[in-house]
Amino acid sequence: MKIAIIGFGNMGQTYANSFMSSGFVGTSDVLILNKTKIEEKNSFGIDATNCYTEPNPQIFESDILILAVKPQDLNN
């Protein structure tokens, strides 16, 4: 099962951490779309190839899509 998280601030990181620490998904099953680049070696173990700064078809083909963006950031 693939989970895409749009926004990787506090809320997005909490979702990712919860899904992976519970064993619901592995680190290769989490896809991130964020407005800024995520470090190559992030503390969550999510592969940098699964982290995007521009929309990618893989994001929208995920089984679960989580929108973790503040309302005021939607227009940016």
Mind listing the pLDDT tens digit for each residue in 47-64? Answer: 888 999 999 999 999 999
Buried b (16+ CB within 10 A) or exposed e, 41-74: ebebebeeebbbeeeeeebeebeeebebbeeeee
The 3-state DSSP class for residue 33 equals strand
The low-confidence residues of the chain, meaning pLDDT below 50, are none
Q: Are 36 and 5 in contact (CB under 8 A)?
A: no
pTM of the model: 0.87
Which is nearest to 8 in space by CA: 76, 68, 64?
Answer: 68
